[in-house]
Structure 1
Amino acid sequence: MQLILDSVWDMADLSSLTTEQVNAEAKGIHNKDATALLDILMKYQLRSVDAVASQLAPISDIARLGADTLKKSQDGRIIVVGAGTSIRLCVQNLIELQTHGWPASRTDYIVAGGLDALTKSIEAGEDDRAYPVAEVGRLGITEKDILIGVSASGRTPVVEEALREARKRGALTIAIANNKGAPIAELAETHIFLETPPEPIGGSTRMGAGTSQKICLDLLTNGMLFHHGGFLKKESLEQLDRCAADCQSNGFASLPDFLQCLLESERQAVASVCAARDALVPAIEKMAEQLGSRQGRLLTGGAGTTARALVQELAELYPTFGFPTSRSHSGILGGHDALLRDYMEVSDQNEYAWSLFEHFQATENDIAILGSVSGKTTFTNVLATLFAREDIPTIGFTNDEAGELLSLVDYPVYLKSSKEPGGKLTRLGAGTAHKVVLNVSTSAAMTLMGHVYDGYMVDVKLFCEKLVERAERIVKEITGCSEEVVRKALAQTKTLYGDASVSKAILHLNGVAFEEMDAFLKAHENKSSRAIEASFTLKS
């Protein structure tokens, strides 16, 4: 991907956004152990739930508005638009609606970078302003439809243009953002502001901001279905009835009760990851060892909701930490087509697992992360058994304490996210638990591996205008150099190494000559954070 040197963003444009700032608690984060890292990362995941809780009233109002729009026709759709983490969460949300009875034909999505961006990073797609306008036209969006645009920054070009065009066509437009004064809030008919604090890894909105977006989407779209009344399945309503605190005389909860019920399920899901800290610490340490000093690969396996969470996480590792895509591989029951379907029947899960395992060609340097809500998915459990036979370390997480998966892996992680781990409604919370446990585990491991310095993602990849601006700002704030000097250093690294490198630009500006760069990094275990810290002695 080409480095954009003549960025249209001014360096001050994004630095004022909360989602681009570095959390004050991230100072010295690169020197912390796995336990301390988890404590910091989890603290701000929990704050994400609070951000949604503060917006329950507008979420309820907008859910009613959406339901009323959908009631006016037999073919009105819920359509989503976004880029990166936001759109992956949006698509997962729409697929989950099918679980409760909403037809797939009444959902659609506009994905920055196209459908391939659901499984790999195509960050430059978010800057294309013509694509979303064309997509709104192709989808034939009308006043019968709802378009939900999600962007942490609130200024993603693809979201701006889609909302603008859809509103012209009479659609109900809803914006969800994590920054005050977001441009998309002005472009949409109505909006939800999720006030999440700066991330412990600055700009990594896949974490706290992303969690708030997932929870908000869960509440908003399921609230629409509940208020609509025509599609939520009886078993879903019955489960709601068992967990809602205040039910109406007909035995079912009101919309505010429904949303409060879902929110508490989501809160418990996030808390379940905190409760699993002692189990996660050795798993994270092993992950960092396998992927760091042993240069192994990260392999994953799962089905349905879990598979989508795993794919989302792997897609973010390269742009955020520079972890090579060649060293991360997803195993999905039913293949990539299953990511866009609520359920895909696989005639022989055992055989499918064997085939995938052979395709992986795993070695003892690799590590596998396997997940299942119930812990009883045949595909996942067979994979765990096969990895164990070859002495390949495995991490496994499930929401059911009796799940067989926990006894098959080296590092079992039980996530007590609900009293009914297999329930139709509780899988929303289980899905959130899976997102959060993957976020904090990989982020902690990547920090231990040296990809984060004082909360800055020093190995970020420069794929789009936003990331170019972020990279320039990181180098400027760490080195204290001018914008002109910073841009020149980044351009030099691109010329010398093929891709612009934030960490090497910092090292060079701190006094490491380019011809000595490889030796300097090797002397510090090829960990960017350690090398950067050591380079300040040269500068002084």
Structure 2
Amino acid sequence: MTFIKISEQPSLYDNLEKMSIHDLLVGINNEDKKVALAVEKAIPQIEKLVSQIVPRMEEGGRIFYIGAGTSGRLGVLDASEIPPTFGMPNTYVIGIIAGGDKALRNPVEKAEDDLEIGWKDLMEYGINEKDTLIGIAASGTTPYVVGALKIAREHGILTASISSNPDSPIAREAEIPIEMIVGPEFVTGSSRMKSGTGQKMILNMITTTTMIKLGRVKGNRMVNMQLSNAKLVDRGTRMLIEELGLEYDEANKLLLEHGSAKKAIDAYKEKH
């Protein structure tokens, strides 16, 4: 059976250069409305994945994202947001992109075309059976990702994939394939659009849900966030005011003394 890339089929819109700015924006927005519905259909697979990630991470396992181009950049982005948001070390969620950090800003020629380099990149982190590998590729065909998933699965590592085409090569290599079928892009083949938006949504869902289940959120607040700027210090101070009924200055002092809202709350409650 021939594998058809729905994500690279011709756009439902044509003569884009002749359209008004308003019509272009409305067209893009209309296509974007389809993304959340496509992600919704993938929730059972996302749930299956998170339910297996959580116990692995409780035993010291990590999440690895691997991808090329836009997909790789989105994996690195999600990984980079875990420490400031949830106060976790940057060793727990790791994003790997074909071509290395240079590829975050500039394309690296042929970096994604090798079936073996992805696994070599993962080996630098000592990936093992406690870890989870999530391959990201809108097309579902990126050799760098396909090869990494195949070898990782052979080594007993939990594998998942996120793609925008059904029955793709990366889905066949992954234990838990997540297929988000968003249809043709507004600009034909431009997977940075709907596919990229959907990937970002799914990555947010995976890590946010995992971190909540690991106890990194209290109520609905980021009590473990890093206090890396004045805005976050103020937010943390107000968390303490609401939770403990303190005056602003006292709450602020307590927060800075302990370094996180959670530690400050726990320490205060222990004394009182």
Normalization by structure 2: what TM-score? Answer: 0.77
Tell me the distance in 2 between the aligned counterparts of 1:49 and 1:126.
28
SS of residue paired to 1:124:
coil
Contact 2:7 2:191 in 1 (8 A): yes
SS of residue paired to 1:180:
coil
Tell me the distance in 1 between the aligned counterparts of 2:77 and 2:226.
12
Contact 1:18 1:197 in 2 (8 A): yes
Alignment of 1:71-86 (within 5 A): 71=58, 73-74=59-60, 76-86=61-71
TM-fit CA distance, 1:196 = 0.4
Alignment of 1:187-198 (within 5 A): 187-198=173-184
Which amino acid in structure 1 is aligned with residue 52 of structure 2? Answer: L
Please tell me whether residue 20 in structure 1 is matched to residue 16 in structure 2.
no
Tell me the distance in 1 between the aligned counterparts of 2:107 and 2:73.
11
Tell me the distance in 1 between the aligned counterparts of 2:163 and 2:116.
22
Tell me the distance in 2 between the aligned counterparts of 1:139 and 1:200.
38
Contact 1:84 1:123 in 2 (8 A): no
Alignment of 1:36-435 (within 5 A): 36-71=23-58, 73-74=59-60, 76-98=61-83, 99-122=85-108, 124-227=110-213, 229-230=214-215, 232-234=216-218, 237-239=219-221
Q: Which has the higher contact order (CA 8 A, sep 6+)?
A: 2
Which amino acid in structure 2 is aligned with residue 46 of structure 1? Answer: K
Q: Which runs of 5+ in 1 are unaligned?
A: 1-12, 241-341, 347-372, 375-540
Contact 2:132 2:158 in 1 (8 A): yes
Tell me the distance in 2 between the aligned counterparts of 1:88 and 1:160.
17
TM-fit CA distance, 1:343 = 7.2
Relative distance call for 1:134 and 1:179 in structure 2 (3 A) is: same
Residue-by-residue CA offset, 1:124-158 (whole Å, 9 max, x unaligned): 21112231121122221111111110000101000
Contact 1:136 1:166 in 2 (8 A): no
Which amino acid in structure 1 is aligned with residue 55 of structure 2? Answer: D
TM-fit CA distance, 1:106 = 1.6
Relative distance call for 1:345 and 1:101 in structure 2 (3 A) is: closer
TM-fit CA distance, 1:97 = 1.7
SS of residue paired to 2:110:
helix
Contact 2:77 2:95 in 1 (8 A): no
Tell me the distance in 2 between the aligned counterparts of 1:116 and 1:343.
27
Contact 1:83 1:158 in 2 (8 A): yes
For these two proteins, the number of residue pairs brought into alignment is: 228
Contact 2:135 2:160 in 1 (8 A): yes
SS of residue paired to 1:238:
coil
For residue 238 of structure 2, what is the aligned residue in structure 1?
Answer: none
Q: Which runs of 5+ in 2 are unaligned?
A: 233-272
Contact 1:174 1:190 in 2 (8 A): yes
Tell me the distance in 1 between the aligned counterparts of 2:226 and 2:209.
22
Residue-by-residue CA offset, 1:197-237 (whole Å, 9 max, x unaligned): 1011010000001000000111012122223x23x133xx3
TM-fit CA distance, 1:77 = 1.1
TM-fit CA distance, 1:344 = 10
Relative distance call for 1:190 and 1:54 in structure 2 (3 A) is: same
Which amino acid in structure 2 is aligned with residue 68 of structure 1? Answer: P
Relative distance call for 1:344 and 1:22 in structure 2 (3 A) is: farther
SS of residue paired to 2:65:
strand
Residue-by-residue CA offset, 1:319-362 (whole Å, 9 max, x unaligned): xxxxxxxxxxxxxxxxxxxxxxx97969xxxxxxxxxxxxxxxx
Contact 2:86 2:226 in 1 (8 A): no
Match of 2:16 among 1, 9, 29: 29
